[in-house]
Amino acid sequence: MTIGSLKFPKTAMLAPMAGVADRAFREICINMGASCVVGEMASAKGLCYGSKKTAQLLGVTGHERPMAVQLFGDEPDTMARAAGIALGFKPDFIDINMGCPAPKITGGGSGAALMKNLTLAGEIIRAVADASTVPVTVKIRKGWDENSVNAVEAALVAQEGGAAAVTIHGRTKTQMYAPPVDLGIIKAVKDALRIPVVGNGDVDSVDACAQMYEEAGCDLVMIGRGALGRPWIFAQIKAYMERGMRLPEPALEEKMAVMLRHIALACRYKGERAAMREARSHVAWYLKGVRGAAAYRRKAGELVCYGDLELLARTVLDASIRA
């Protein structure tokens, strides 16, 4: 897939996930073979008002490229100003969020709420595209609800507004993350556009990724929740898509090593106290499916320092040896 001068292999990219897709996780996923990553969504108003916390979400380093920053907002002028600020962080491209279903986002008219006002959405996309010196992409959903499935129309608005690519999550806002994703709507968007289309939703395995490529015909696949606690999914998909190889699930020792490396990076970037508080969720994801996982997850909820995590990893490995 090509966006501007950027070329992405036909593997899989990491989705923007608030509170999850931080610098440490993005680096891990890039190292595992993700074709590119998108940072946590940042408030356009927050950027324009000088919020340091919001600005921290836009950091881009050489270890996580190619990378996009994602903005959300409901005012064309504010989004354009925010894009100008975001350019200072030197992202490879800028993504506009029109897909987040969280009430705190949609309640203010941003995210998936823009699926209900495509005139405003078009104005926002054009304003950002005009203000940006890097490609601009747009992430949408199937629609607001089953009575307003308008993904094709929204995608055409994005294309007309200057978007270089569109990502579509194959569910409506009201469906959130269930039932199964609609591959047909992704294909309909792909068939309607002349710019690249990225498919998103329910990809948690090599087979699910291959199915999305085959049935939806998209140019690239985006993975979000399917990578939580399993960043090696990118290596598995890369091996299959490029060489036809099916890599096995990593051994428990390797999984624990990846987990420790991930959280060590988080501690380096955020400080141990903040990183370990956020690590509790990640550790629970890494431990999913491990024998005795329920008890380990309870211990994960009590993590305070990195040493606690090292001890937990040793406990998990020792128990697996005795089993």
Cβ-based neighbour number of residue 278 at 10 Å: 16
Contacts of 248 (CB under 8 A, 6+ apart): none
Among the candidates 212, 243, 274, a domain finishes at: 243
Q: Are residues 98 and 168 in the same domain?
A: yes
Domain range enclosing 312: 252-322
- For residue 176, which of 133, 213, 224, 219 has the smallest C-alpha distance? 224
- For residue 203, which of 180, 229, 235, 174 has the smallest C-alpha distance? 180
**CATH code of the domain in which 298 resides:** 1.10.1200
Q: What are phi and psi for residue 94, nearest 5 degrees?
A: -115, 130
Q: Are residues 171 and 315 in the same domain?
A: no
Do residues 199 and 186 make contact, with C-beta atoms less than 8 angstroms apart?
A: yes
- Quickly state the pLDDT bin for 323 (edges 50, 70, 90): low
- For residue 88, pLDDT over 90 is answered with yes
- For residue 226, which of 17, 19, 67, 27 has the smallest C-alpha distance? 17
**CATH code of the domain in which 226 resides:** 3.20.20.70
Q: Are residues 102 and 214 in the same domain?
A: yes
Q: Are residues 222 and 272 in the same domain?
A: no
Q: Are residues 186 and 284 in the same domain?
A: no
Q: How does pLDDT run across 243-254, given as a tens digit for each residue?
A: 999 999 999 999
Among the candidates 215, 243, 271, a domain finishes at: 243
Q: Are residues 83 and 23 in the same domain?
A: yes
Do residues 189 and 212 make contact, with C-beta atoms less than 8 angstroms apart?
A: no
Instruction: Give me the half-sphere count of Cα atoms (radius 13 Å) on the Cβ side of residue 307.
Output: 0
Do residues 48 and 58 make contact, with C-beta atoms less than 8 angstroms apart?
A: no
Query: Can you tell me the distance from the alpha carbon of 308 to that of 53, in angstroms, rounded to the nearest whole number?
Result: 28
What are the DSSP calls for 199-211, one per residue?
EESS--SHHHHHH
Q: Are residues 68 and 203 in the same domain?
A: yes
100 given a catalytic annotation? yes
Amino acid found at 235: A
Q: Are residues 152 and 228 in the same domain?
A: yes
Do residues 205 and 226 make contact, with C-beta atoms less than 8 angstroms apart?
A: yes
Cβ-based neighbour number of residue 299 at 10 Å: 18
Catalytic residue among 100, 209, 218, 267: 100
Q: How does pLDDT run across 153-198, given as a tens digit for each residue?
A: 999 999 999 999 999 999 999 999 988 999 999 999 999 999 999 9
Domain total in the chain: 2
Do residues 139 and 68 make contact, with C-beta atoms less than 8 angstroms apart?
A: no
Mean pLDDT of 29-55: 94
Q: How does pLDDT run across 49-84, given as a tens digit for each residue?
A: 989 889 888 999 889 999 999 999 999 999 999 999
Cβ-based neighbour number of residue 76 at 10 Å: 20
- Quickly state the pLDDT bin for 137 (edges 50, 70, 90): very high
Strands 12-14 and 6-7 come out as unpaired
Q: How does pLDDT run across 252-275, given as a tens digit for each residue?
A: 999 999 999 999 999 999 999 999
Among the candidates 213, 243, 273, a domain finishes at: 243
- For residue 320, pLDDT over 90 is answered with no
- 293 burial level (CB within 10 Å; 0-12, 13-18, 19+): middle
306: left (phi over 0), alpha (psi -120 to 50) or beta: alpha
Q: Are residues 291 and 236 in the same domain?
A: no
What pLDDT, on a 0 to 100 scale, did the predictor assign at position 187?
98
Give, in order, the Cα–Cα distances in Å from 176 to each of 102, 112, 146, 195, 226.
9, 10, 12, 26, 15
Query: Can you tell me the distance from the alpha carbon of 16 to that of 26, in angstroms, rounded to the nearest whole number?
Result: 10
